[in-house]
């Protein structure tokens, strides 16, 4: 298994329940692929570097996890179709 991190920017108008559903969706996908989720870090509402879809702010969530590379296409697909997700980025962490 490899170490990854996904950063998700959720719509700034989303409530706590919506943000929680996004986190649970990520955990669910990774558990289906025998992945391990680390501690979820919710940064809260932050200003974006540039506007995205006429929004200048977003709610940032960072989720570190360990998983096989085969889980990434499904995670990418689900986050791409989620209406409440403004942007996301999955990165592989360097092996120590």
Q: How far apart are CA 83 and CA 65, in angstroms?
A: 23
Q: Could you tell me what percent of the chain has a pLDDT over 70?
A: 98
**β-bridge mates for residue 10, sequence order:** 59, 85
- Give residue-wise pLDDT tens across range 48-68: 999 988 889 999 999 999 999
Domain CATH code at residue 40 = 3.30.70.60
Total-model pTM? 0.87
Q: Could you tell me what percent of the chain has a pLDDT over 90?
A: 72
Give the per-residue pLDDT at 78. Answer: 94
Q: What angle do CA 11, 48, 78 make, to 5 degrees?
A: 40
Residue identified by tokens 């085969």 is 70
Q: Indicate the number of domains in the chain.
A: 1
Segment 18-42 shows an average pLDDT of 92
> pLDDT category, 95, cuts 50, 70, 90?
low
- Range(s) of the domain holding residue 74: 2-92
């Amino acid at each position: 298994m490899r170490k990854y991190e996904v950063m998700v920017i959720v719509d700034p108008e989303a409530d706590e329940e919506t943000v929680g559903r996004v986190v649970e969706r990520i955990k669910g996908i990774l558990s289906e692929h025998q992945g391990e989720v680390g501690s979820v870090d919710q940064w809260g509402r932050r200003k974006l570097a540039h506007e995205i879809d006429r929004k200048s702010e977003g709610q940032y969530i960072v989720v570190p996890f360990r998983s096989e590379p085969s889980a990434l296409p499904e995670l990418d697909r689900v986050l791409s179709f989620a209406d409440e997700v403004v942007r996301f980025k999955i990165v592989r962490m360097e092996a120590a």
